[in-house]
Amino acid sequence: QAHVRDAAGVVRDVPAESVKVGDLLLVRPGELVPCDGVIVEGRSHVDASAITGEPLAVPVTVGSTVLSGSSNVDGPLTMKATAIAGESQYLRIVELVRNAQGSKAPLQRIADRAAVWFTPVTLIICAVTYAITRDTDRVLSVLMVATPCPLILATPIAIIGGINRCARRQIIIRTGGAMEALANVTTAVFDKTGTLTRGQPAVERVHTLNGFDEHSVLRLAAAVDFGSGHQLARPLVKHAESLLGTLPVATEVSEVPGRGISGLVDGSLVRVGSLTWLREMLPAAASGQLDTLDGSGDGLRAYVSVGDVPVGTIEFADSLRDGLPGFFRDLGTLGITRTVMLSGDHTSNVALVAQELGITDARGDLLPEDKVSIVREFQAKGERVVMIGDGTNDAPALSTAEVGIALAGHGGGITAEAADVVLLVDEISRVADALRASKDTMRIAKQSIGVGLGLSAVGMVFAALGYLTPTMGALGQEVIDVAVILNALRAASGRR
């Protein structure tokens, strides 16, 4: 739904599909932007990470462009629609997903490959047996023992077991074909924001001024921010509590959405907010010191003042997930020979993360269609690609890859729909678990097919030589089928 404001200022709810170019729309805090547009009134922060890959919400004001599917964080906004819903960025991404799903090459299943030669071989043995012996009983014995059940039963039973094994780890494998394809991937392509990083801001560093130390700045800022709903308030308070324990109580707290918050702490007026807001609130004499803080870093920052004096700035960044070095080592042991990072975030941020993780092929400033093109480049070189992502902007590439894995805790919606594998928990290590389960499953399936067909082949030879009657052949067939089923069931337990 969209909230359309008419010329008289009356707001009415209409379906997003009925919004016309030029309509004025109200977007309340916590709501999604219904279509592409430009801000005409209000200030806020907008989280477009699912669409663009930028990790942190960005400040928006009059004249700022916003994309459909973005989330308004902390202040009411009035925007003018610049595109109808069907032409918005979000719908373009959905169309890319549909195109990718429609052009995906069909998977050749392992049982299909084996069936190509099994039936002709059986018929040849029958023909040779009859040509030499003219004994129809021997031919019948060959047919009785020539069971196709290893082909029919081994792979489905093993795959069902593997899917159940993954489900116990909260990994949803949507099709048996995805399980087969996952066992054969060679290239892992990762999104950055929310996939390799947490997708949430965390305190990176604190810069101080005027005799205040880091702990004092954190203590005062967190006290004022304790009850705020701003995207930076929670990580700030969490970080301060982990370092300092109990925080003082702020009184007379007043928040200006999209700009800042103030309150009394230990009798002093503390302000936490944007650089622009503090310039407006503090005397002109503080301008030079604010300029010093403004040059202290490139991350998203909250500026802090006590009374009329700036005392510091708190810089935030999107932090890496824990355990990534070990995770990448596991991928190397599971057949992944190339690791790539693709992101819509700025190239400079992507390069920093890639350097820290040791990823040599990392690309930034990518649109969703750029990610699709890169995945197809790898496929054209004969590489089998697994794409791992969490955002809406990853959905087309997830559909294009041989296997797409979505972290549903972040993206959901179109992202989960586009993926072949969905992780229900926000743990990147489950990707390695899924790879391991797929390889174990397909190894057991191939083993079951090989053993079953091998025993059938031996039985056919013995039947052709006259050592097996049709009844004995039928019994032998059942023994082979039971053996194949029992072996395939091992895939559910994960036992090797």
At residue 424, the 3 state secondary structure works out as: coil
d(CA 193, CA 465): 66
Contacts of 14 (CB under 8 A, 6+ apart): 1, 2, 4
Q: Is residue 47 within 8 Å of 29, Cβ to Cβ?
A: no
Residue 355: how many CB atoms within 10 A of its CB?
11
d(CA 297, CA 300): 9
By CB atoms closer than 10 A (0-12, 13-18, 19+), residue 272 is buried
Which H helix or E strand runs over 272? strand 268-273
Q: Give the pairing of strands 251-256 and 260-265.
A: antiparallel
Q: Which among 18, 30, 40, 456 has a CA at the least distance from the CA of 257?
A: 30
Concatenate the DSSP letters of all residues of 334-386 into one string.
TT--EEEEE-SS-HHHHHHHHHHHT-SEEE-S--HHHHHHHHHHHHHTT--EE
CA trace torsion 321, 327, 329, 333 (10° rounding): -160
Which H helix or E strand runs over 403? strand 403-407
d(CA 279, CA 251): 23
d(CA 106, CA 99): 15
d(CA 1, CA 150): 53
- DSSP 8-state code for residue 32: B
Q: Which among 318, 316, 317, 325 has a CA at the least distance from the CA of 428?
A: 325
**Residue positions annotated with a catalytic role:** 191
Which H helix or E strand runs over 301? strand 300-306
d(CA 303, CA 220): 12
At 363, list the tokens: 């690309």
256 DSSP β-pair partners: 260
